[in-house]
Structure 1
Amino acid sequence: MSIRQRVKWRDAFLLTMVAAAPALCLAAAPAFGERVDLSAAERKRVLAVTAPADDFSKAERYEAMPGGATTARKSAGRQAFSFPASNISSGGRESFVLGEALFGKLWVSSPASTRASDGLGPLFNARACSSCHIRNGRGLAPDGEGNEGSLVLALSAANGVDPVYGAQLQTRAVQGLQAEAVTRTVYEAFPVRLGDGTVVTLRRPVYLLENLAHGPLGRQTRVSPRLAPPIIGLGLVEQIALSDLQNLEDPLDIDNDGISGRINWVVDPQTGKKVAGRYGWKASRHSIRAQSAAAFLTDIGLSTTLFPAHGGDCTSLQPDCLAAPHGAQSRLGPVEVSDTVLDMVTHYAGHIAVPKRRQVDDPRVLEGKALFYGAGCVSCHQPKFVTRRGEEAGANDFQLIWPYSDFLLHDMGDGLADECGTDLAREWRTPPLWGIGLTEAVLGRENYLHDGRARTLQEAILWHGGEAKAARDAFADMPESQRDALIAFLKSL
């Protein structure tokens, strides 16, 4: 059963339930997979507007507004990812501006006269959130000629993190300490021949570690490269109903269509409960707040109430690092990043608008959209959702959104597999595609995938394997004119 068939089966089932119980209210027990935040009439409406496209002769209604009412209407080139949600309140806008300042703030080592800005490190990769999320877009990939961009190298071993170096290699250090390593990326090129004879050169990264401060990594430690993903639309993602994600799961591939996406259930660091991961390349965090706190810890070396270690990613085998001064101040609380600061950064990251789409009615774009559907790309890149109802959602409440992701983990094959040595090695969360056509405008160049190895969207597609191999092969077998049309569609997102 294809994803389209599965969705139609699910939708038909839910519509039958709604028709059989027209008086259904929020207090009534919902049918399996139904939205408990919606009335029966709203559920019916949501099923209708999120149904897969079947007419590619024209753009769908509201398709140009991928973030619903939150969508940024302005076309701003390099600043395209810098606007707050268009429907944000005046108070929310003020908080957005404060959070934006904190997101771009450069932290300094302790002790410092700035008082409110010290606590950096002692070991770190960046001094500000914006150093990795360039203009709120993706990180900059290594160029293979000595400039490592904003790439970080995560570490993992059979028992968790590296016993000496922790969860991530820290390539910078405060005065008096030595950085953990110098990293260098080189690329191996290899050709791929497409169906029409076109040869595309892909590049495979190789990571070299030099000047390791405490000797070699553990024998079981594996290195996993990571670039920061774009952070537009994060608040909308947080408001996607869990039942909508569960309805897209098929971990055992029961319908036998080769697609077996699954939710990555993770632990909420605040409550200790199992929750659905939505953020990060492996869907390892469930909320913007948890994701932000984790980045403060491992990337900048700052403690929060969620992760209160003042030494950041320092381990017990790095006593000099643990003994370094920290920035926690009694008048501001027990950690370096107070809950107030963390909340403002979370608010900012949760209200960055997705840009309005371009050329949605262009015949070439519509042709590419039809090819995107026909190749099976929507099996993982789910086009549409309607976010949850509820006052807590604020500007992100009840919006028809077009992220082109199911936010599930999928096996992407050996070519993209991590060396992390865990069950997740081959599995990746489907990244949302909204805004992907503005990558070059925002970043200044194109680089895609978790490590930036793909220099074009075509290269990114050709790296797909595993569950995505059939879609990849369909693209590779298209004539050049059709491949160009599909890329034109992606560029319009």
Structure 2
Amino acid sequence: MRRALELLRAPRHLPFGCLIAGLLLTAWPATIFADAWADLSATRTDLTPEDLARVESVTAPTKDFSKPEDYETMQGGAGTSRKRVNADAFSQASANITFAQQATFKLGNALFRKNWVSSPSSTQASDGLGPLFNERACQNCHLKDGRGRPPLGADGTTSMFLRLARAASNAEEQATIARHEALNFPDPVYGTQLQELAVPGLAGEGRMSVTYTEEPVTLGDGGTVSLRRPAYSVNDLAYGPLDSATTLSPRLTPPMIGLGLVEQIHPADILAHADPGDRDGDGISGRPNIVPAETTGKPALGRFGWKAEAASIRQQSADALATDIGISSPEAPRHWGDCTEAEPACLAMADGVQPRLGDTEAPVPVMDLITFYAQNLAVPARRDVGGKDVLAGKRAFYEMGCAACHTPKFVTRRDTPDKAQAFQLIWPYSDFLLHDMGEGLADGQPVGDATGNEWRTPPLWGIGLTGRVGGGHAFFLHDGRARNLTEAILWHGGEGTKARDRFAAADAATRAALIRFLESL
């Protein structure tokens, strides 16, 4: 870590905080900033002016593609895993945590892998499953702590779910969204997510169905690529029809690596990249999703989830436990998971709360361990960063405009709760903002400030190891429709149209180099 921070000694000409504050004041009306983001600092309050200058210097986009940047291999900072690349590449602990913390990490890993059982059960610390659920363990969805996959024949859908929601339908609901007290509104019968499985004595809610239509795309050099367009529906609904206003949004489980580092990026650094009105005219108008933060009761900057709907790892973990598995926690005290009043048989089932352990099925000690585990899954080291084709692909990545949304670098805050994540130069390749990706990728489901066309820029670190970790599969985008990285790029629309078109128009060698660069991440 000490060596990596030598990078931060370079001077700069204008304090970083001044640039951020200036952008914020011109990008959004003062009333919005004051009301919604009162607790989000427009400047980095954790650094001295000298450190601000160093951070600005080290995170500036590179202009030299003749060689790797300093410490580019260590894309997760000092916590980067240098262990052998294999199927467990996403399951390693941060390299810079203490020996005692490694024990905590392993306990969290055990809970992440634990299969919950239905109540009542003799294994009282493990019961509380469902009653309606999608999986019995976190690890069963986040395969090897990596990316999920879409349904493959009879293999089921356990690592991709259908989110159910509708937009505000009246002035009162619109005001609730505007005050950042809710993200959207659930289906009145089936809740926020389709639950395909159920405990004994209860029927699952239904079954997701997906069909694909192949659509050929012609590239600039005459080659063709076939994209598959998905169509989603729900079969065998057990409790009546869905509401006519309910939208279906498929969500693939994302990789778990580097989450603790993302959590420690200062809000000012994320907001600095936002340009809602596209004032600079580059066609990119990323904006933040300000979301309810149940842990604090105040609006917060969303940075996790496909639409940046969660502000913290703890809240994201609690929501997943409640919605995917049906396990309650202090942050999401829903003992019956996603069951609704329209499903009385579900609500009549026994819950798994053990008063001697706490007043929820996953009490504070359990949530502490699961959260620590999720915060400390290491990012693997880059490979072949100095390869000729990798460097050529990196140049193409910048020149095509990919880095306008996939921001390469950040430096985490100094005042982190855990010093292992403090002041780290990291390379997530994301701005963590919402972008309109066009009608082709739209799900039509608003989530807080995110529209039905908008998605958070997903981090790219580790993307080249997707197949290795996923047992040979490599499906990309929010619903896994892309079967490789080329297809994923060609699905970009909206704000990604220019970059996509430049990629499609490039010669085969340039396209191959860009893919090679992505595979090195």
Same fold (TM over 0.5): yes
The alignment partner of 2:418 has SS state of: helix
Structure 1: give runs of 5+ residues left out of the alignment: 1-10, 19-31
Inter-partner Cα distance in structure 2 for 1:421 and 1:389: 34
Contact 1:148-1:185 within 8 A present in 2 as well: no
The alignment partner of 1:79 has SS state of: coil
Question: What is the identity, as a one-letter code, of the residue corresponding to 1:399?
Answer: Q
Match of 2:495 among 467, 471, 474: 467
1:124 and 2:133 matched: yes
Inter-partner Cα distance in structure 2 for 1:130 and 1:42: 39
Q: After TM superposition, list the pairs within 5 Å mapping 1:31-430 onto structure 2.
A: 33-143=42-152, 147-148=156-157, 150-159=159-168, 160-420=185-445, 424-430=451-457
Inter-partner Cα distance in structure 1 for 2:270 and 2:16: 18
Greater CA drift, 373-382 or 146-155: 146-155
Contact 2:211-2:232 within 8 A present in 1 as well: yes
Alpha carbons of 1:86 and 1:458: their partners in 2 closer, same or farther (altered >3 Å)? Answer: same
> 1:32-80, CA deviations, whole angstroms, 9 ceiling, x for partnerless residues?
9542111122112111111101000000000000011000011231010
* Structure 1 counterpart of 2:468: 441
Question: What is the identity, as a one-letter code, of the residue corresponding to 1:197?
Answer: G
Question: What is the identity, as a one-letter code, of the residue corresponding to 1:80?
Answer: A
Inter-partner Cα distance in structure 1 for 2:342 and 2:16: 59
1:14 and 2:15 matched: yes
Inter-partner Cα distance in structure 1 for 2:75 and 2:17: 29
Offset at residue 351 of structure 1 (A): 0.4
Question: What is the identity, as a one-letter code, of the residue corresponding to 1:179?
Answer: G
Offset at residue 158 of structure 1 (A): 3.0
Inter-partner Cα distance in structure 1 for 2:240 and 2:124: 35
Q: Normalised by the size of structure 2, how large is the TM-score?
A: 0.88
Alpha carbons of 1:90 and 1:479: their partners in 2 closer, same or farther (altered >3 Å)? Answer: same
Inter-partner Cα distance in structure 2 for 1:371 and 1:149: 36
Question: What is the identity, as a one-letter code, of the residue corresponding to 1:467?
Answer: E
1:451 and 2:490 matched: no
Offset at residue 271 of structure 1 (A): 2.1
Inter-partner Cα distance in structure 1 for 2:279 and 2:46: 28
Alpha carbons of 1:416 and 1:256: their partners in 2 closer, same or farther (altered >3 Å)? Answer: same
- How many residue pairs get aligned? The number is 470
Contact 2:160-2:479 within 8 A present in 1 as well: yes
Question: What is the identity, as a one-letter code, of the residue corresponding to 1:76?
Answer: V
* Structure 1 counterpart of 2:33: none
Alpha carbons of 1:318 and 1:401: their partners in 2 closer, same or farther (altered >3 Å)? Answer: same
* Structure 2 counterpart of 1:491: 519
Offset at residue 370 of structure 1 (A): 0.1
Greater CA drift, 36-45 or 317-326: 36-45
Offset at residue 90 of structure 1 (A): 1.2
Alpha carbons of 1:87 and 1:318: their partners in 2 closer, same or farther (altered >3 Å)? Answer: same
Contact 2:503-2:511 within 8 A present in 1 as well: yes
Q: Normalised by the size of structure 1, how large is the TM-score?
A: 0.93
Contact 2:135-2:158 within 8 A present in 1 as well: no
Alpha carbons of 1:214 and 1:479: their partners in 2 closer, same or farther (altered >3 Å)? Answer: same
The alignment partner of 1:446 has SS state of: coil
Q: Percent identity?
A: 55
Alpha carbons of 1:218 and 1:12: their partners in 2 closer, same or farther (altered >3 Å)? Answer: farther
The alignment partner of 2:15 has SS state of: helix
Contact 1:111-1:327 within 8 A present in 2 as well: yes
Match of 1:479 among 503, 507, 513: 507
Offset at residue 240 of structure 1 (A): 0.2
The alignment partner of 1:398 has SS state of: coil
* Structure 2 counterpart of 1:6: none
Inter-partner Cα distance in structure 1 for 2:209 and 2:247: 16
The alignment partner of 1:88 has SS state of: coil
Contact 1:123-1:313 within 8 A present in 2 as well: yes
Contact 1:239-1:393 within 8 A present in 2 as well: no
Match of 2:458 among 415, 421, 431: 431
Offset at residue 119 of structure 1 (A): 0.1
Inter-partner Cα distance in structure 2 for 1:429 and 1:17: 26
Greater CA drift, 480-489 or 268-277: 268-277
> 1:346-386, CA deviations, whole angstroms, 9 ceiling, x for partnerless residues?
00000000000000000100000000000000000000000
Offset at residue 272 of structure 1 (A): 1.5
Contact 2:323-2:338 within 8 A present in 1 as well: yes
Question: What is the identity, as a one-letter code, of the residue corresponding to 1:463?
Answer: W
The alignment partner of 1:78 has SS state of: coil
Offset at residue 394 of structure 1 (A): 2.5
* Structure 1 counterpart of 2:34: none
Contact 1:138-1:230 within 8 A present in 2 as well: yes
Greater CA drift, 239-248 or 182-191: 182-191
Question: What is the identity, as a one-letter code, of the residue corresponding to 2:283?
Answer: G
The alignment partner of 1:313 has SS state of: coil
Structure 2: give runs of 5+ residues left out of the alignment: 1-11, 20-40, 169-184
